[in-house]
Amino acid sequence: MDAISVIRTKRDRGELTSEQIDWVIDAYTRGEVADEQMSALAMAILLNGMNRTEIARWTAAMIASGERMDFGALSRPTTDKHSTGGVGDKITLPLAPLVAACGAAVPQLSGRGLGHTGGTLDKLESIPGWRAHITGEEMLNVLDSTGAVICAAGDGLAPADKKLYALRDVTGTVEAIPLIASSIMSKKIAEGTGALVLDVKVGSGAFMKTIEDARELASTMVALGTDSGVRTVALLTDMSTPLGLTAGNALEVRESVEVLAGGGPQDVIDLTLALAREMLDAAGLKDADPEKALSDGSAMDVWRRMISAQGGDPDATLPTAREQHVVTAPASGVLTRLDAYDVGVAAWRLGAGRARKEDPVQAGAGIELHAKPGDTVTAGQPLMTLHTDTPEKFDYALKALPEAYDIAPAGTSFSPLPVVRERIA
């Protein structure tokens, strides 16, 4: 085997053999295939695609590059959720304890934000004392004692993916659907969960901008999970507008706690319950009632135990930014559009996100929304409040917002997109 022949095969729109895929993933992980060679192959895959057999073998080779986790000793069925990322997407925070309160075990391996999309670990690290990095033994102990754990994946889980993702990030090949699907599913299958629900975002604030691309990605991942013996279903969910009323780390934790306490924005509640029902159904717990677990406080009880088990203080005061700037409505009427991407970029520029993986984030930075599409607003009314510790960032953040919203004349009819647009199984 040699890298050039593998690159030429895909460059010329050929089908990679299982032997070629196994060799190139293993050789790249060991450093035998150079970054420039793998980036050429990734670009060929972006341009020419892969079929189902190729994607399945690529995913299996990524899994084989590292360890696999085993939750067979747990008395509960395991079920997990993965989101492809968005703006204000704090759903994992109320969802994991909610599903655990209904009898499942939720081993949630999460990541950090990059660019305009937020990261679950960044959000939870705004809670004083909370630790993202725990050992495999600690993870099992937290799962056994609370039913849910949210933590960072260990270095031994699909190391080929970690190396390849970093390369794709700097070579313009992140958007390759076969590579997105295999990246996500290699980690989730290696994680060892029995069932998986995929939250595939679609819209301006998502990586998949069109319903067609989102459907293709979801179908590819569902097939990968099914072929690997993991009960897998996907929901295509709207990300044209930010989820909830906050985008930022501590801001989103605060809103998640509101949902667990029986309040919070309706779109966050609706999506949390929709995903919880899918996760419980996939785990064989069809009779569980997540709505009851949300309203009777049992999900909140699991949240408190889960946070405490990883060193966090669920009663601690969350960080707040030192400076605020209010954006007001320029006219009266009906807010008909609030662009998720623009809001996400502004929150990122305020310090809530990072441009590179090693960049720090501000716990209190972000954007608080005071109106959502369909709401009636009056001229001068606050539309959003920007939060940051570094006020010199306001001007840069504000440059992302002039085209972020539309206000139509009073009386204009408005029909919002549903939070869940499609289901793929």
pLDDT in tens, 282-297: 999 999 999 999 999 9
* pLDDT at site 145: 95
- In the predicted structure, residue 357 carries a pLDDT above the cut 80: no
* pLDDT at site 32: 96
* pLDDT at site 155: 82
- In the predicted structure, residue 381 carries a pLDDT above the cut 90: yes
Q: What is the mean pLDDT of residues 170-188?
A: 92
* pLDDT at site 265: 97
* pLDDT at site 116: 87
Q: Which residues are catalytic?
A: 82, 161, 168, 183, 187
* pLDDT at site 423: 98
Instruction: Please identify, in words, the CATH class of the domain defined by 323-408.
Output: alpha beta
CATH code of domain 3-49: 1.20.970.10
CB 61 within 8 A of CB 315: no
- Between CA 345 and CA 151 the distance in angstroms is 25
* pLDDT at site 72: 87
How much is the pTM?
A: 0.94
Q: What is the mean pLDDT of residues 368-390?
A: 98
Q: What is the mean pLDDT of residues 349-362?
A: 87
- In the predicted structure, residue 356 carries a pLDDT above the cut 80: no
pLDDT band at 405 (very low <50, low <70, confident <90, very high): very high
pLDDT band at 248 (very low <50, low <70, confident <90, very high): very high
* pLDDT at site 408: 97
* pLDDT at site 170: 84
| CATH architecture of the domain with range 79-154+190-309 | 3-Layer(aba) Sandwich (3.40)
- In the predicted structure, residue 406 carries a pLDDT above the cut 90: yes
Provide the Cα torsion 5, 9, 12, 15; round to 10°: 180
- In the predicted structure, residue 108 carries a pLDDT above the cut 80: yes
Q: What is the mean pLDDT of residues 159-179?
A: 90
Domain spans in the chain, listed from the N-terminal domain onward: 3-49, 79-154+190-309, 323-408
* pLDDT at site 358: 76
Residue 48: partners with Cβ closer than 8 Å, 6 or more residues away: 10, 11, 13
Return the structure tokens found at 389: 């510790």
- Between CA 228 and CA 230 the distance in angstroms is 6
User: What secondary structure letter does DSSP report for 147?
Assistant: S
Side-chain half-sphere CA neighbours of 333 within 13 A: 14
Q: What is the mean pLDDT of residues 126-141?
A: 95
**Element at 302 (helix H, strand E):** helix 298-309
- In the predicted structure, residue 321 carries a pLDDT above the cut 90: yes
* pLDDT at site 113: 83
Q: Is 211 left (phi over 0), alpha (psi -120 to 50) or beta?
A: alpha
- In the predicted structure, residue 63 carries a pLDDT above the cut 90: yes
pLDDT band at 209 (very low <50, low <70, confident <90, very high): very high
Q: What is the mean pLDDT of residues 204-221?
A: 96
Share of the chain above pLDDT 70, in %: 100
Return the structure tokens found at 278: 């899918």
- In the predicted structure, residue 354 carries a pLDDT above the cut 90: no
**C-alpha 117: how far from its chain's center?**
8
- In the predicted structure, residue 165 carries a pLDDT above the cut 90: no
CB 113 within 8 A of CB 361: yes
- In the predicted structure, residue 37 carries a pLDDT above the cut 90: yes
Query: What residue type is 330 in one-letter code?
Result: P
| Mean model confidence pLDDT for the chain | 95
